[in-house]
Structure formats: C-alpha cells, structure tokens
C-alpha cells in the first residue's frame, strides 16, 4: 500500500515533467526499455535492486548501460530513485505512468478473457463496440481461459464484468442450492 502511494507520487512527478517537455510517449518507451533490460538480465536485476550495493555504483551502471539510449530526463529520474532508495518501486511507477498517459490520451486498456480465441472480425467488432460505449480509444489485451466455457470476462481497471458461461452456471447452481426441496413440488 505504501509502495503504491510512493509509486503514484513519483509517476505523477515524472508524468508532469514529460507533459511539460512534450515527451510523454518517449519517456514511457524509455522506461519500458529500462525495465525490460533489467528483467532480461538477472545479474543486472540483482545489482539494481540489491540494498547493499552503493548508490554511486548503481548510478554509474545506469550511465554506462543507458546513458546514450534514454533521455537525460529519465536517466536523472532513475538516479533520483536510487538516491532515495526507491528503485524497487520502478515497476509500479511504470504502471502508474502508463495509466496517467492513457488517461491523458483517452486510451483505455481492457483485458478480455475468452474461452476460445476470437476471430479477427469479432475482435474488431468488440473493440469498436467498447470504443463506442466508453468514448475512448480501446486497447484490447485478449487472453484465452478455457475454464470460462463460453462468453467473456472484461477487466477495466479495477472493475470486472463477468459475462462468462462459467459464472452463469455458478450463479444458477448457487440459486438452486438455496431452494428448499418442498418448494420444487417434489415429495
């Protein structure tokens, strides 16, 4: 919870700076590149997140690895995180930053779970319908979950709309178990 609040503050500050410099997308792409690189290399991951490695060593490593690849603004931001010992919040900061950028650009990311793969035509129709309903640009993240049996589950932020057959059957089962046998007309 505290890390989430910290991530919100830092991502808000980075986002405001990016807006001021008209580099919202560039900083987002750079931040994604940095996190991907850290995740891909286990040794780098251990060094960046290790509490006993000096701040100066971490900052030199950032300069060496990313100095010419990312914006100076982001490089300075990463060094600030290291100075404040907040490097472990980097992933949460990226998530918050993307959320802020999407709000700014009226983009809504929706996770869609389906029992079977959607055809291209159905994906396009779903995207268009959701854009019409939300009045925003929609990015779909489609995942296959055979346990749903049929239908869709939409996750929009912290809201879940469950229109799956699995959910429907579960509700029906719950309702049937609440009915007393005498109400069914069975002796």
Q: Tell me: pLDDT of 183 over 80.
A: no
**Is the separation of the CB atoms in 86 and 13 below 8 Å?**
no
Question: What DSSP designation does 87 have?
Answer: G
For each of the domains in the chain, give its residue range(s) and CATH number, in order of start.
Answer: 2-103 (1.10.520.20), 107-178 (3.40.30)
Q: Tell me: pLDDT of 185 over 80.
A: no
Digit-coded pLDDT (tens) for 151-173 = 999 999 889 999 999 999 999 88
pLDDT of residue 177: 86
**Is the separation of the CB atoms in 165 and 149 below 8 Å?**
yes
* Residue 70, SS3 per DSSP: coil
Residues 112, 88: Cα–Cα separation, whole Å: 29
pLDDT of residue 175: 86
Burial pattern 86-115, b for ≥16 Cβ within 10 A else e, equals bbebbebbbebbbbbbbeeeeebebebbbb
**Is the separation of the CB atoms in 111 and 161 below 8 Å?**
no
Q: Tell me: pLDDT of 119 over 70.
A: yes
pTM listed for this prediction: 0.75
Residues 130, 63: Cα–Cα separation, whole Å: 43
Counting residues of the chain whose pLDDT is more than 90, the rounded percentage is 86
Mean pLDDT, residues 60-79 taken together: 94
Digit-coded pLDDT (tens) for 44-56 = 999 999 999 999 9
């Amino acid at each position: 919870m505290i890390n989430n609040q910290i991530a919100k503050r830092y991502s808000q500050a980075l986002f405001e700076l990016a807006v001021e410099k008209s580099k919202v997308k560039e900083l987002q792409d750079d931040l994604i590149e940095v996190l991907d690189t850290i995740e891909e290399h286990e040794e780098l991951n251990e060094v960046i997140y290790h509490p006993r490695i000096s701040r100066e060593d971490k900052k030199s490593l950032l300069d060496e690895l990313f100095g010419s690849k990312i914006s100076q603004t982001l490089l300075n931001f990463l060094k600030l995180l290291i100075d404040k010992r907040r490097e472990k919040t980097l992933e949460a900061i990226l998530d918050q930053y993307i959320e802020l950028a999407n709000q700014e650009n009226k983009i809504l990311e929706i996770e869609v779970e389906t029992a079977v793969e959607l055809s291209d035509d159905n994906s396009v129709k779903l995207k268009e319908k959701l854009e019409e309903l939300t009045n925003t640009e929609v990015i779909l993240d489609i995942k296959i979950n055979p346990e749903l049996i049929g239908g869709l589950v939409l996750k929009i932020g912290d809201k879940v709309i469950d229109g799956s057959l699995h959910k429907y059957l579960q509700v029906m089962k719950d309702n049937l178990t609440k009915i007393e046998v005498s109400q069914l007309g069975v002796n």
